[in-house]
């Protein structure tokens, strides 16, 4: 058993100014490498506190992944603290300096004196390259514990972990780096209900870990299995078979709430289906205010199938751009199934696309009436062979979350049409 | 100075299955009570690890707020661990039992044996009522440290802290709960540069805490001052005056990068300015794909000034809806200052609004050329008395972040026009 410790440094963590997302990320990664995390901690930018914590960890853990404190400012104490705890000096690491210089040169910046300080690493430590930022990482052993020091910036840290640290941990634990993972994406089921429905899983599949992650308004269900290094190849096959059985078991329980068994979001799945069909999409939005288009265009390559979107807050724009009839607007109002239908058909024509989806509703906090309360949304879908619209009430009590719910519901209605044949 | 420790318990934290949001919350609350947090940590549901951690905290901190492990299952070890660390037995707390019985009765449930275990508290501890769940909290002193043990469920914990624990901490530190806070929002300056520019702050204003929070692509700079309980009312006035001086000092250093001294985002500030002027806005987007409209419509009440937005990925939509001339598109291409200008003027007319802003560029990861690399964006602004456009290169190396950068830049250009007179 290899025991791990996850250490965050930085005043901003202890002031509660930022959420320490790094630690949760690293706990997950360590687990996937076969390391048992026995403790996480966070200490401020204070030399005495840091050294004390490092010494404590060195005597209790086999491996410590540590984030933050590698920058150029006087508050950045990680290098000095590791050196002090190990009883060594720091010295200029030529590899670290060269790597920083390369990073700066590429961007046309000059290395200044403060930056050069970052290349001073503890004697006997091993430089770890940072391909996505300036702060160099490093690893070193104190007592029985191997420390991996990484930047606090999540993006840089995650990439450094993936490219440089993961393989070292896998070596230590004897696990191979690959995990067999299956990701299912759900929409339209509450998290507590997912837990209930899948409560028998552990008993049925004791070797497979089941985890949830909320990606509001979707939920990702992750099945994972650590493939141990085995010489007997049959065992590997059994593992894959069992994963497949587990996936089928879960999918049966969750029914049509599963929108993707590849971990794709609604927008990604809609994009995949449109690409497969060689068809195009336009969007007409009112209450979602551009969010549907934004979700669609977050997917790289969306320009291949996404043509046009109109966010028509003003009724005059609904008339002028989407050709919604004035009579519909006057008789039924903006938030209405007929209006939604005319919006979808109108934008399909204006955009010249095969498919169209529309939203009109009341995201709140104000604007609700007794007949049409906050959370009311009408969604229209127009396709090559017809169009329809529906009304829903989806209220989360928050404007931004309501927009997200409405947008997801619209994409889900479109997705269901796209998979129909 | 009162030193605090925040302790989370539970395997799910160390497996990375859940984000430890309780710790960040408690760090903020402790700070607002005048407690200096010197460490946070998380340990698994393991008796030996828990007892060791509690003993360590008891010898280093004055106060420890602790969450989790108060439930009825065998994994819930907090009560036993505190008792062991203190060298006392647990005993039935009649107040705790009565409170749980009341909670169950109200819901028509029966107390079972497992629940009664929850009312067994360490000898000498003081019961803390949980008004929003079943697990009773308690406080007790070990060595020099006062421990406050609360449930791990955030909703229950936050309410218990607010109603029952906060006042105890305020008594310990002699602070009143209120903090005086000023929030400045910045755009267009790197975080490291903000730190550099403001590096003299602590020396100048030792009583005021300066913090940053990244709200990409903006940065929030927060000045906060703990108002001490003072009998001399003049001192309170001095505090407010000093805060104002600090704000002016910071604003001078940051110059025109400050977009709001009320902590407003770009979209909120643009909304505030449009409302003040009684004017309206339309948006034409290409590369930002609906994000500008989405940011604008996240602000409650946006329907008062936001009329229309067109996301025109396809050139045909740029021509049909925005009246961009075919010649411009054929000669200059979609990513071009003239195109951006025509888009802004076109959507101003189609939407019938006083103001308009447009974006056209290359968010990546593909689509870049040598002349127009990924990160190129052209932004147009049209107002009541004229229009203009500009080209920028803003590349973060990530599609979604590029969209955010482009959208913020567009809103910032509009904001600058709106404040001009």
pLDDT confidence of residue B237: 61
- A19, B24 in Cβ contact below 8 A? yes
Contacts with B241 (C-beta within 8 Å, 6 or more apart), sequence order: none
Domain co-membership, B159 together with B188: no
Q: Which of A260, A294, A317 is the last residue of a domain?
A: A260
Contacts with B56 (C-beta within 8 Å, 6 or more apart), sequence order: none
Domain co-membership, A25 together with A124: yes
Each residue of B28-47: pLDDT tens digit? Answer: 899 888 899 999 999 999 99
What does DSSP assign to residue B302? Answer: G
Distance CA A383, CA B343 (A): 28
Domain co-membership, A142 together with A209: no
Could A53 and B43 be called an inter-chain contact, meaning their C-beta atoms sit closer than 8 Å?
no
- Write phi, then psi, for A205 (nearest 5 degrees): -130, 75
- For residue B348, is pLDDT > 60? yes
Contacts with A123 (C-beta within 8 Å, 6 or more apart), sequence order: A83, A88, A89, A90, A91
Contacts with A116 (C-beta within 8 Å, 6 or more apart), sequence order: A92, A97
- Nearest residue to A346 (alpha-carbon basis) of A361, A324, A314, A313: A324
% chain A with pLDDT above 70:
95
Could B18 and A24 be called an inter-chain contact, meaning their C-beta atoms sit closer than 8 Å?
yes
CATH at residue A195: 3.30.70.2860
Q: Which of A260, A289, A320 is the last residue of a domain?
A: A260
Q: Which residues numbered 344-363 in A keep a CB inside 8 Å of some CB on B?
A: 350-352, 363
Q: Which residues of A touch B43 (CB under 8 A)?
A: 38-39
Could A211 and B350 be called an inter-chain contact, meaning their C-beta atoms sit closer than 8 Å?
no
Could A297 and B289 be called an inter-chain contact, meaning their C-beta atoms sit closer than 8 Å?
yes
State whether residue A369 is helix, strand or coil.
coil
Label residue A231 by pLDDT band (50, 70, 90): very low
Could A399 and B300 be called an inter-chain contact, meaning their C-beta atoms sit closer than 8 Å?
yes
- B136, B79 in Cβ contact below 8 A? no
Which of B293, B334, B350, B368 should we substitute to test contact with A (largest number of A Cβ atoms within 10 Å)? Answer: B293
Q: Which residues of A touch B310 (CB under 8 A)?
A: 308-311, 321
Domain co-membership, B166 together with B17: yes
Domain co-membership, B318 together with B361: yes
Domain co-membership, A6 together with A117: yes
Distance CA B100, CA B94 (A): 10
- Write phi, then psi, for B36 (nearest 5 degrees): -90, 115
Could A350 and B313 be called an inter-chain contact, meaning their C-beta atoms sit closer than 8 Å?
no
Each residue of A328-342: pLDDT tens digit? Answer: 999 999 999 999 999
Domain co-membership, A227 together with A299: no
Which of A17, A45, A283 should we substitute to test contact with B (largest number of B Cβ atoms within 10 Å)? Answer: A17
Q: How many CB atoms lie within 10 A of CB B343?
A: 33
- B69, B78 in Cβ contact below 8 A? yes
- Nearest residue to A143 (alpha-carbon basis) of A215, A82, A208, A94: A82
Label residue B231 by pLDDT band (50, 70, 90): very low
Could A308 and B309 be called an inter-chain contact, meaning their C-beta atoms sit closer than 8 Å?
no
HSE-up of residue B230 (Cα within 13 Å, Cβ side):
11
% chain B with pLDDT above 90:
72
Q: Which residues of B touch A50 (CB under 8 A)?
A: none
pLDDT confidence of residue A239: 75
Please spell the DSSP secondary structure of B62-124, one letter per residue. Answer: SEEEEES--SSSTT--HHHHHHHHHT--EEE-HHHHHHHHHHHHHTTPPP-HHHHHTTEEETT
Chain B touched by A314 (CB under 8 Å) = yes
pLDDT confidence of residue B107: 76
- Nearest residue to B64 (alpha-carbon basis) of B117, B26, B109: B26
Q: Which of B211, B242, B260 is the last residue of a domain?
A: B260
Look at chain A and report how many structural domains it folds into.
3
Per the structure, the complete domain to which residue B312 belongs is given by 266-418
Option in A16, A302, A351 nearest B27 (CB): A16
pLDDT confidence of residue B1: 87
Each residue of B268-298: pLDDT tens digit? Answer: 999 999 999 999 999 999 999 999 999 999 9
CATH at residue A50: 3.40.980.10
Distance CA B402, CA A295 (A): 14
Could B298 and A367 be called an inter-chain contact, meaning their C-beta atoms sit closer than 8 Å?
no
- For residue A323, is pLDDT > 70? yes
Give the alpha-carbon dihedral of B196, B197, B202, B208, to 10 degrees.
Answer: -120
Domain co-membership, A77 together with A155: yes
Q: Which residues numbered 257-276 in B keep a CB inside 8 Å of some CB on A?
A: none
- For residue B11, is pLDDT > 90? no
- For residue B179, is pLDDT > 70? no
Could A306 and B313 be called an inter-chain contact, meaning their C-beta atoms sit closer than 8 Å?
yes
Q: Which residues of A touch B308 (CB under 8 A)?
A: 310-314, 317, 321
Q: Which residues of B touch A37 (CB under 8 A)?
A: 14-16, 44
Distance CA B267, CA B408 (A): 8
- A35/chain B closest Cα distance in angstroms: 10
- For residue A243, is pLDDT > 60? yes
State whether residue B346 is helix, strand or coil.
helix
Each residue of B244-264: pLDDT tens digit? Answer: 999 999 999 999 999 999 999
- Nearest residue to A13 (alpha-carbon basis) of B263, B26, B1, B200: B26
Domain co-membership, A11 together with A70: yes
| Region of residue A142 (phi > 0: left; psi between -120 and 50: alpha; otherwise: beta) | beta
Beta bridge partners of A137: A128
- Nearest residue to A247 (alpha-carbon basis) of A200, A182, A293, A292: A182
Domain co-membership, A252 together with A290: no
pLDDT confidence of residue A230: 43
Domain co-membership, A349 together with A396: yes
Determine the distance from the C-alpha atom of residue B410 to the mean position of all C-alpha atoms in its chain, rounded to a whole number.
23
pLDDT confidence of residue A209: 81
Please spell the DSSP secondary structure of B240-289, one letter per residue. Answer: HHHHHHHHHHHHHHHGGGEEESS---HHHHHHHHHHHHT--EEEEESTTT
- B256/chain A closest Cα distance in angstroms: 23
Chain A touched by B396 (CB under 8 Å) = no
- Nearest residue to A5 (alpha-carbon basis) of A46, A81, A76, A60: A60
Q: Which residues of A touch B209 (CB under 8 A)?
A: 15
Domain co-membership, B183 together with B92: no
**Residue B365: is the preceding peptide bond cis (ω within 30°)?**
yes
Could B303 and A24 be called an inter-chain contact, meaning their C-beta atoms sit closer than 8 Å?
no
Beta bridge partners of A185: A220, A260
- Write phi, then psi, for B208 (nearest 5 degrees): -115, 135
Residue of B nearest to A21 (CA): B19
Q: What tokens were used for A392?
A: 């829903």
Average pLDDT value over all residues in chain A: 91
Chain B touched by A309 (CB under 8 Å) = yes
- For residue B178, is pLDDT > 90? no
Q: Which residues numbered 120-159 in B keep a CB inside 8 Å of some CB on A?
A: none
Considering A111-115, A324-328, B169-173, the range whose residues carry the highest mean pLDDT is: A324-328
Each residue of A55-109: pLDDT tens digit? Answer: 999 999 999 999 999 988 888 999 999 999 999 999 999 999 999 988 888 777 7
Could B300 and A14 be called an inter-chain contact, meaning their C-beta atoms sit closer than 8 Å?
no
Chain B touched by A221 (CB under 8 Å) = no
Contacts with A196 (C-beta within 8 Å, 6 or more apart), sequence order: none
Please spell the DSSP secondary structure of A17-86, one letter per residue. Answer: SS--HHHHHHHHHHHHTTEEEEEEEEE-S-HHHHHHHHHHHHTT-SEEEEES--SSSTT--HHHHHHHHH
Chain A touched by B250 (CB under 8 Å) = no
pLDDT confidence of residue A139: 97
Each residue of B108-133: pLDDT tens digit? Answer: 777 777 778 899 999 999 999 998 88
Angle, vertex CA B129, rays to CA B117 and CA B77, nearest 5? 35
For the ranges A76-80, A354-358, B195-199, the lowest mean pLDDT is seen at: B195-199
């Amino acid at each position: 058993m290899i025991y791990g410790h996850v250490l965050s440094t930085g005043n901003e963590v202890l002031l509660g100014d930022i959420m320490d997302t790094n630690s949760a990320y690293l706990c997950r990664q360590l687990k996937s490498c076969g390391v048992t995390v026995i403790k996480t901690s966070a200490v401020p930018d204070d030399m005495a506190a840091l050294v004390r914590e490092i010494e404590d960890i060195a005597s209790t853990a086999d491996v410590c992944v540590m984030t933050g404190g590698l920058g150029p400012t006087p508050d950045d104490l990680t290098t000095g603290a590791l050196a002090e705890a190990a009883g060594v000096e720091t010295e200029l690491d030529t590899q670290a300096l060269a790597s920083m210089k390369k990073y700066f040169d590429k961007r046309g910046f000059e290395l200044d004196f403060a930056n050069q300080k970052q290349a001073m690493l503890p004697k006997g430590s091993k430089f770890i390259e940072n391909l996505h930022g300036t702060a160099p990482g490093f690893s070193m052993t104190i007592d029985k514990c191997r420390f991996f020091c990484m930047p606090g910036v999540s993006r840089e840290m995650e990439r450094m972990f993936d490219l440089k640290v993961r393989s070292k941990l896998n070596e230590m634990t004897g696990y191979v780096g690959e995990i067999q993972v299956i990701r299912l994406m759900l929409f339209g089921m509450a998290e507590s209900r997912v837990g209930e429905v899948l409560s028998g899983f552990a008993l049925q599949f004791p070797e497979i870990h089941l985890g949830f992650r909320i990606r509001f308004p979707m939920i990702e269900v992750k099945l994972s299995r650590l493939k141990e290094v085995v010489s007997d190849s049959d065992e590997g096959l059994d593992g894959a078979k069992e994963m497949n059985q587990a996936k089928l078991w879960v999918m049966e329980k969750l029914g049509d709430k599963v929108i993707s068994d590849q971990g794709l979001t609604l927008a990604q799945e809609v994009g995949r289906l449109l690409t497969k069909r060689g068809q195009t999409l336009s969007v007409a939005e009112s209450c979602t205010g551009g969010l549907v288009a934004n979700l669609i265009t977050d997917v790289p390559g969306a320009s291949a199938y996404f043509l046009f979107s109109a966010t028509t807050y003003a009724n005059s724009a609904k008339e002028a751009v989407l050709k919604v009839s004035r009579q519909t607007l006057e008789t039924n109002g903006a938030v209405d199934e007929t209006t939604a239908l005319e919006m979808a058909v109108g934008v399909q024509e204006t955009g010249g696309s095969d498919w169209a989806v529309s939203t009109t509703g009341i995201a709140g906090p104000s604007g609700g009436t007794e007949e049409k309360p906050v959370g009311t949304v009408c969604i229209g879908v127009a396709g090559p062979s017809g169009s329809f619209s529906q009304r829903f009430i989806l209220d989360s009590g928050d404007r931004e979350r309501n927009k997200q719910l409405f947008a997801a519901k619209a994409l889900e209605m479109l997705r269901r049409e796209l998979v129909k044949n």
